[in-house]
Amino acid sequence: MPHYRLAAFDMDGTLLNSDKEIPASAIEACRRAWKAGKILALDTGRAVSELSLYPFSEMGIRYGACACGTVIYDFEARRVLATRTIPKELIPILVEASRKEDLMFQAMIDGIGYVEAADVERMDHFRMGVYQPLYRATSSFAEDIRAFALENADRINKINMYHTSPESRARTLEILSGLPLDFTFAETTSLETTPQGVSKGTGLADLCDVLGIPIEEAIGVGDAFNDVPMLKAAGLGAAMGNSNEEAIRAADVVVGDNDHDGIAEVIDKYLMA
């Protein structure tokens, strides 16, 4: 069996169970790997700021490819190691398109997620109510998020637009589809926008480059459509048992689901083998 030195985990549907908590089995398995000298990381669509409520330092998870691979972060040093940004000339086009639908706009800059406070109080309306406590606790707030995005157009790593329905999301994507950007569906109504060619797969590659680890020695673990590039790029792609069909097809192996020790299985069966 190949020798793996690093494992990178998606958050929602992967490291987190259905209650948005990290299972005890995953915490214990991460600690075993950490003590054995393995490198543990996240590869997530979340901003760094949205990760502050979790006990990663106690689990040995030091690094993150965050905001869909646009920000490489060292949690221990609290330092951004590398970033990729959306071309500034495209930000006004994204902002204008966002005005045509009833949606919640989020901009991520250097690992911090910026939103309007009023939108957070309506997250049920945007089919994202499960994340409302997280956004209340970890977001930075702009009085006018679209004006804020325009003022900081040269610094934005990622933009999320949370719609009221999949149909609304499809209309926004139709307007934007010709732009040199990458678009990914997440959750039920979310449209994630990143620089062209940037994904969780390039995020894992950038993290490996920073750490001096061949990507063939990395395991990527995920469950959803936006995890597919990571699953394909990693030396071993592991799909959770609760994964969608696209993630399962992209993976090399399938493990238990996020409520039944899937992370522990990845660590004990593959990372620690």
Q: What percent of the chain has pLDDT over 70?
A: 100
Which residue intervals of the chain bear CATH 3.30.1240.10?
88-195
Closest C-alpha among 94, 95, 64 to residue 80: 64
Quote the pLDDT of residue 251.
98
CA 249, 250, 252, 258 dihedral sign is: negative
Question: 166-176 vs 91-98: helix axis angle to the nearest 10?
Answer: 150
Q: What is the pTM assigned to this prediction?
A: 0.90
Cα–Cα distance measured from residue 27 to residue 258, given in angstroms and rounded to the nearest whole number: 13
pLDDT category at 59 given cuts 50, 70, 90 is: very high
* CATH superfamily, region 6-83+199-271: HAD superfamily/HAD-like (3.40.50.1000)
- CATH number attached to the domain at 88-195: 3.30.1240.10
The answer on pLDDT for 60 being more than 70 is yes
Which residue intervals of the chain bear CATH 3.40.50.1000?
6-83+199-271
What tens digit of pLDDT does each residue of 235-261 get? 999 999 999 999 999 999 999 999 999
Quote the pLDDT of residue 1.
65
Quote the pLDDT of residue 186.
87
The answer on pLDDT for 132 being more than 70 is yes
* CB atoms inside a 10 Å sphere around CB 223: 26
What tens digit of pLDDT does each residue of 94-121 get? 999 999 999 999 999 998 999 999 999 9
